[in-house]
Structure 1
Amino acid sequence: MQENRVSRWYFGGVSSSAAACVTHPLDLIKVHLQTQQEVRMRMIGMTLNVVRREGFLALYSGLTASLCRQMTYSLSRFAIYETVRDKMKRKNKGPMPFHQKVLLGAFGGFTGGFIGTPTDLVNVRMQNDVKMAAEFRRNYAHVFDGLLRVCKEEGLRKLFSGASMASSRGALVSVGQLACYDQSKELVLATGYLTDNIFTHFLASVFAGGSATILCQPLDVVKTRLMNSEVQYGSVSHCLTETAKLGPNAFYKGLVPAAIRLIPHTVLTFIFLEQLKQHFGTLSLVETDRCARRHPPGMQLMMAMMMHTHTRTETHIAFSSFSVYLCFWMRTRKRCQSLV
């Protein structure tokens, strides 16, 4: 029987960081496309232009900021969503309804988006530096240098420029990714044709990535413009107005690279997350109780140890180990029985 394992609170941040290492060049090209005032280049042309001007490694500009962002933004939203979801699942003895997943995902994403705003701002600026003239580049050495310089040169408030957009986008992305992934995975497993394996995770995450891309693209464009500007936009409404003057399509600038970046990122994130959960996750309390029932508390092993001791000290050590093990087993059984 397959063990029911629960994700640890930091697995979401780790898996998102691993996925970001693969998809970072796509994220950089997406930022370049979104910050164009007029559509001059498409995705392939922009990629070739960056490589021709700065070299291949320029596609990884701002990687440190991207990883730091995943370990703040993604770690927070995954930790909130999965912790509450697992507790509700144990309490209700079944999966949460979809509307509750949507609300929980939105709350986790909104919170994570606000926490990750400073690193997101530095990430956008480091990525956009590549296409700027040398005299206008900010040249942040790394994410922490960027954070310190923004504080000194522009003030602490500037670190949270675009926080409302980042939080709103985080809420929509989390609804598309977390809630839709869980729901689509449950629906796929309910058909009975597939089991809980990598192919199921792939199908569910592709749907989740597509949903997240469509939901968040307009806010993503506004957020990127706000974070990349120093004095160009006075407020969110000003940025919305100026972007709208470019036409409705301006809110979906970079949709294709955003989808090409976000869908693979979502797929890799959830595949990494499921693998981490499977190999390093903790057993759920119900599963721990089942294991305890199948495997008695090592009484035969402990008695054998006591029988083969030859000195009083060895006997005391064996008896103490047996007592600690027995107390732990009884506490686990009692805790599980109170929940089941």
Structure 2
Amino acid sequence: MAVPVNKSQRIPRWYFGGVASAMAACCTHPLDLLKVHMQTQQGKKSLFFMAKKLFKSDGVLGFYNGLSASVLRQLTYSMTRFAVYDVGRKSRTKDGRNMPFYEKVALAGTAGAMGGFVGTPADLVNVRMQNDVKLAPEQRRGYKNGFDGLYRVFRQEGVAKMFSGATMATSRAVCVTGGIATFLTMPLDVMKTRMMNAPPGTYKSILACAKDIAVNGPMGFFKGFMPAFVRLGPHTVLTFMFLEQIRMNFGDDPPAAAGT
């Protein structure tokens, strides 16, 4: 007679984290979009002003511009980050070994760096699709979806452009964790967004991008802070809520249960 399986003991698969993050992104995408709009605009305009302007021009659906690219980013960036950390943790804790704190930090940083790099092309397309509505009709890129955007960037601008802003994205991914990280990584996030959204040849280096942002003073490096900060909490909570449900309903049974 089969023994009923305790769902709470089921083991997650390596890709569950990426799926859960993609589901959370569907809920928090409007805040991410407003963050990008604030980061790419010159001058000082409030979050309320940007939201009102977007609603008037594109309605409610305007807040979901670039959603396919946002999901694709989570399925590359977050999936890699969760997978690398999970595989590394299992490797370092086999035979009942406990990981010391410094190993956890090092592994988390490595996983974040790899995820940030792998997710850069989708992040670039995500930024462009979110910002398209702000441009004049003749200047819009008009990507149909995330995959179409990746293909067109590859074909029209080359592989190197697909990884524009990779340094900033990787550095940010290493650092970002918790509310204080939003403040610490905001300058990196602003520069990443600017470099990804800029036409080819706009910035010759990271320093050139930083100088352009600094024209409006040091606060230019913190544009979009409020929507980024407000988004981080719900996104993190929703990710782990979805992850827990996916694990309990679709995870692998423990070895003892699987063998009964």
2:101 corresponds in structure 1 to 98
* Matched-pair contact (CA < 8 Å) for 1:5–1:281: yes
Q: Deviations over 1:16-52 (max 9, x none)?
A: 010011011111000000111211x211211111010
Verify the 8 A CA contact 2:153 2:162 in the aligned structure 1. yes
State the structure with bigger RCO (CA 8 A, min sep 6), 1 or 2: 2
Matched, 1:247 2:217: yes
Residue of structure 2 in register with 1:124 after alignment: 127
The answer as to 2:27 corresponding to 1:7 is no
Distance of 2:25 and 2:220 partners within structure 1: 26
The two structures have a TM-score, normalised by structure 1, of 0.70
In the alignment, structure 1 segments of 5+ residues that lack a partner are 177-207, 299-340
Which one of the candidate residues 217, 240, 248 is aligned to 1:270? 240
Aligned length: 254
Which amino acid counterpart does residue 228 of structure 1 have in structure 2?
Answer: N
What CA distance in whole angstroms lies between the structure 2 residues aligned with 1:137 and 1:2?
Answer: 48
Once residues 219 and 44 of structure 1 are traced to their aligned partners in structure 2, the CA distance between those partners, rounded to angstroms, is: 24
Whole-angstrom CA distance in 1 between matches of 2:116 and 2:53 = 31
Q: Given the alignment of the two structures, is residue 133 of structure 1 paired with residue 136 of structure 2, yes or no?
A: yes
Q: CA-to-partner distance for each residue in 1:220-260, whole Å, 9 max, x for gaps? A: 11100110101321111211232233322122111111011
What is the alpha-carbon distance in structure 2 between the residues aligned to residue 51 and residue 263 of structure 1? Answer: 24
- The residue aligned with 2:80 is 76
Q: In 2, are the aligned partners of 1:119 and 1:147 still within 8 Å (CA)?
A: yes
Compare CA radii of gyration and give the structure with the larger one: 1
- Aligned residues: CA RMSD: 1.9
Of residues 213, 219, 225, the one that matches 2:188 is 219
SS in structure 2 of the partner of residue 6 of structure 1: coil
Rounded Cα–Cα distance in structure 1 between residues aligned with 2:103 and 2:180:
17
AA of the residue aligned to 1:126: M
Contact 1:7-1:82 within 8 A present in 2 as well? no
Q: Which amino acid aligns with 1:270?
A: F
CA drift of 1:89 comes to 2.8
Q: CA deviation at 1:3?
A: 5.1
Separation in 1, partners of 2:71, 2:80: 14
Per the alignment, in what secondary structure is the counterpart of residue 82 of structure 1?
helix
Q: Which position in structure 2 is the counterpart of 1:282?
A: 252
Secondary structure of the 1:232 match is coil
Instruction: Output the amino acid matched with 1:76.
Output: T
Asked if 1:44 is matched to 2:48, the reply is yes
SS in 1 for 2:14: coil
CA distance in 2, matches of 1:144, 1:76: 18
Query: Please, what TM-score do these two structures have when normalized by structure 2?
Result: 0.90
Map 1:151-230 onto structure 2 (within 5 A): 151-173=154-176, 176=177, 208=178, 210-230=179-199
Q: Where in structure 2 are there 5+ consecutive unaligned residues? A: 1-5
CA distance, structure 1, for counterparts of residue 194 and residue 8 of structure 2: 46
Q: Secondary structure of 1:282's partner?
A: coil
Q: How much identity, in percent, do the aligned residues show?
A: 52
SS in 1 for 2:93: helix
Judged with a 3 Å threshold, the aligned counterparts in structure 2 of structure 1 residues 80 and 240 are, in CA distance, closer, same or farther, namely same
